Structure 1
């Protein structure tokens, strides 16, 4: 009976999964463009340097090898970011702040439940992953990963390449970048992340002339515009997409992005 319930729960979760809409949380839509303050992401960079391994088209995380000390340092980094008021910083500093916070929290959530086969196994019994769970508090306000991505990053910056920046700890997801985002490197990293994903088979794949795209382009179609606009975006890195008129299918691999 328990196994049947678990199976039915998984089926319901997958069947009802849909990407949240981009809806602005007005409170966070403020910045101080006169500020010259910067936010230190060195501890996150040190973590990435130590535990992210590039294997082919994937950036994998050595979850099993992460020491207790480095786990605590990761938690300290998240607490430090959460103690700041991002509205006191420039938009450029804010963007790097939110992306790094999202990615660091995601890794920390995996570590809290490791070993686990997929991030979709996290969360409550009837949840598909942890995205709707409270993960931090900033300025006394509870935030979820969905809040960070869909109520802050997407609506404030209106930047479709954000989907290549935030990482959901899955093989089908755009890679967790080996460099922490900063105000200075954001544009270069977004461009690098977009190119990496689109030239990879998990982003865009042709098989006997048929086009398969990541589910990201279906879930967040509104961010990429019309199909013609999406293909123009993809064709910047995969010229064979240009002029494609056939059927499009979508795939996504939720397996954990871990080293073996």
Structure 2
């Protein structure tokens, strides 16, 4: 180990593969360092951006010398003169007091996986009684199909009044509670959300026993509180699993070990509670944060269970077939991205919008597209945004940070002022309508949202005088590959 009087500081977050790669490089080189996890010290984020002009992590300092991210560190090591200069600095010079932000451990917030405590829902036993009530039957919904375990609102009210010895008002309240908690669902997709005492209005049990969704099967029938808290707990648990099973250099996740871990079993049990979340009641911001977290967790869950897609066709199938049951309805990855977060717009290679006019999932769609969601659904940059889990109370600020972190990378934006060439990530090509109707509008959107001063100034100089001669897209299928690292 190198003897030093100075200090090397790495600003990182848990589970960031590029952070892990940088720290392994330093360890292999015998360079001691201080690791400051900015996800546990949120106050450091603003300081770091003011100091470096950058939002992403890792960010590395040798005393007061700002090296940059992992790519910059690797380049410095290959440059013998530059590397020796950095080492000489920390071997001979003590750090200047207050030059770097190194918070005291007592200031840390708890960024660990949220503990999900399953309290028994007192309404759940009624569902078991309903299954034995004798009022369930098969109901023909068309000439060629029928639905099992169906009952009318009228028969339910009569049964519950008799079984619980309550009046009609209380019976209706019990049924409404089961409906709001998604234990029972209206058979007609366009039915009202209120339980109706009507012999012609039918309901069904929320039964996922025949579903291929990864969270299908019996739930623990937990009493659910805030849906956002459940989604954050799921996301944080999956991040911890990824962090526990990723290689020291950040390149490989051992999904077999992850799948066999006890905590993974706990995650699967927790994910089944999504079946009873009333997502249509979430506000726009709550829904945005909820579905971003669920999408990112589902990608890792599916990879741990089914492995990584190996070709173009299997990748398409992965995003189209990988699904969770949420609030009684099945959502694939494509449904979440295009149906919900992109306000029910057609995705790549899709001929129609994901949700039809009578689809009950349409109620969960965003009113309009927030283009920044594309940089929250796991990006392919060689750096990480300092945000991995999104909260309903602060989702817009978190999306701003994630967007700025992505746009500062060369995988997102490159500007050659001399040649008048702008290169943008293919993400902005695939989803160009989310960013603007014309190329100029797309560029203006990027200009408004890029925060890294060097790139902003370069882009401004080219766009302002409209002198760009060439516009190219950077291949961005790495988005999927990086998604597998959380």
Q: TM-score of the superposition, structure 2-length normalised?
A: 0.39
Structure 2 distance, partners of 1:165, 1:90, is 19
Structure 1 residue aligned with 2:441: 229
- The partner residue of 1:149 within 327, 331, 337 is 337
2:475 to 247, 252, 258: 252
Q: What residue in structure 2 maps to residue 195 of structure 1?
A: 404
Query: Any unmatched runs of 5+ in structure 1?
Result: 1-26, 29-35, 54-59
Q: Tell me what 1:94 maps to.
A: 287
1:42 pairs with 212, 223, 233, which one?
233
Name the stretch that deviates more: 222-231 or 132-141: 132-141
Equivalents in 1 of 2:383, 2:336: separation in Å?
A: 17
Which of 181, 198, 202 is the matching residue for 2:390?
181
Deviation at 1:171, TM superposition (A): 3.0
Cα drift, residue 89 of structure 1: 2.5
Aligned equivalents of 2:398 and 2:407: distance in 1?
Answer: 14
CA distance in 2, matches of 1:232, 1:133: 35
Distance 1:174 1:152 in 2: 27
Q: Residue 253 of structure 2 corresponds to which residue in structure 1?
A: 63
Give the greater-gyration-radius structure (CA): 2
Residues 138 and 174 of structure 1: CA distance in aligned 2, closer, same or farther (over 3 Å): farther
* Structure number with higher relative contact order (C-alpha < 8 Å, ≥ 6 residues apart): 1
**Corresponding residue for residue 428 of structure 2:** 217
Deviation track 1:181-211 (CA, whole Å, cap 9, x = no partner) reads 1111201110011101110011102357422
Instruction: Give the 5 Å matches for 1:128-139.
Output: 128-139=316-327
- Cα RMSD, aligned residues only: 3.2
Report Cα offsets for 1:31-85 as digits up to 9, x if no partner.
Answer: xxxxx945212342244256359xxxxxx68622636223223323432234312
Task: State the distance in 2 between where 1:105 and 1:61 align.
Answer: 20
Alpha-carbon distance change, 253 to 217 in structure 1, aligned in 2, over 3 angstroms: closer
For 2:291 and 2:251, the matched residues in 1 are separated by: 20
Task: Rate the CA distance shift 1:201–1:234 in 2: closer, same or farther, 3 A.
Answer: same
Please give the alpha-carbon distance, in whole angstroms, between the structure 2 residues aligned to 1:231 and 1:193: 18
Contact 1:164 / 1:174 at 8 angstroms: preserved in 2? no
